[in-house]
Amino acid sequence: MTVREVTPAVDADALLAGAQFADAFCIEVDDRNLDARRAAERMMARQPRWAETLLALRNFLVAPLGLKTSGATPNAPRDMIGIFPVVSETPDRLIAGFNDRHLDFRVVVDVTAPGGARQVTATTLVKTHNWLGRTYLAIIMPFHRLIVPALLRQVVA
C-alpha cells in the first residue's frame, strides 16, 4: 500500500484556530471494519526505531527549555493514543494533540470508505506561539515528513 500526500481536507480553524501549518497523508486499507480509534492505535502502537531515537534526543534537548516531553506525567489524561492525549473522537475521526508554550499541535485521523476499501488520512495542524515554536517546527519538518508516512504504513500491517 502506498502513502500519498494530499491536500488537508479539514476545517483547520475549527480544529486549531490560527494554525499556520497543515499537511496530510493518506493510505488505503482493506479492513472494512476499521474505525478512527483503531487506525490511530495502529499508527501509534510503535514507532520506527530511528523515530524513537529522534524522540529521545528531542526530549533531552527540549526538557531544559521547559517544553513538554513524552515521558509520563502525573497529570496526564487517561485517554491517550501513543504519546498524545485524545482531544475528541467519533467513529470516523480521532483528534489528538496538546498545547504547549512554544506551539499547539493536533493530529487528525480520519477514516472514510471510498468504494470497497477504507482510506485513512493523518492530518497534522500546528500553531506556533513564538520564535522557539517556529524554530522547532522548521527543525522537525524533514523528520515529520518521514515519520507520518511510516506510521500510516503500520495501519496496514
Pairwise CA distance, residues 28 & 127, whole Å: 28
Q: Which helix (H) or strand (E) holds 49?
A: helix 49-62
In the predicted model, is pLDDT for residue 117 greater than 90?
Answer: no
- Given a contact cutoff of 8 angstroms between Cβ atoms, the answer to whether 20 and 127 are in contact is yes
In the predicted model, is pLDDT for residue 157 greater than 80?
Answer: no
The pLDDT score that the predictor gives to residue 74 is 46
User: What tens digit of pLDDT does each residue of 31-84 get?
Assistant: 888 999 999 999 988 776 765 666 666 667 666 666 666 544 445 556 888 878
Domain topology for 3-49+79-153 = Alpha-D-Glucose-1,6-Bisphosphate; Chain A, domain 4 (3.30.530)
State the cell numbers at 143.
523528520
Rounded to an integer, the average pLDDT of 139-150 is 90
Domain positions in the chain are 3-49+79-153
Percent of the chain clearing pLDDT 90 (strictly above): 57
132/128: higher pLDDT: 128
State the cell numbers at 72.
509520563
The pLDDT score that the predictor gives to residue 114 is 64
Band (96; pLDDT cuts 50, 70, 90):
very high
- Give the Cα-Cα-Cα angle 19, 150, 122 (nearest 5 degrees): 35
**Mean pLDDT score across all residues of the chain:** 85
76/10: higher pLDDT: 10
The pLDDT score that the predictor gives to residue 72 is 44
The pLDDT score that the predictor gives to residue 75 is 55
State the cell numbers at 144.
515529520
- Given a contact cutoff of 8 angstroms between Cβ atoms, the answer to whether 37 and 89 are in contact is yes
